[in-house]
Amino acid sequence: EGDIIRTIRTHAAHIGHFHTGGVPGRHELDDTQELDWRAIATAIADLGFPGFVAHEFVPTRDPLASLKQAVTACTV
């Protein structure tokens, strides 16, 4: 909760992997969400994070198109 990027930076040494999901609702990662996934992905990449980012959400549209959108949003 709160400042997601600051929290990631503060606790990076203790994070083994990340899960994405739209907020609210755990749906697509699109422009209607509260979180800026590109900024979050950039912060993760800037840390040199060696682990995985898993896209874990429930698509409301075409599943493959939604996955492509999520991958695009988090590719930095």
- Distance CA(2)–CA(48), nearest Å, equals 23
Under 8 Å CB-to-CB from 49, ≥6 apart: which residues? Answer: 12, 15, 18
> In the chain, what is the straight-line distance between the N-terminal and C-terminal CA atoms, in Å?
23
Check residue 6 and give its pLDDT.
Answer: 97
Tens of pLDDT along the chain (76 residues)?
679 999 999 999 999 999 999 988 899 998 888 999 999 999 999 999 999 999 999 999 999 999 999 999 999 9
* Alpha carbon of residue 73 to chain centroid: 8
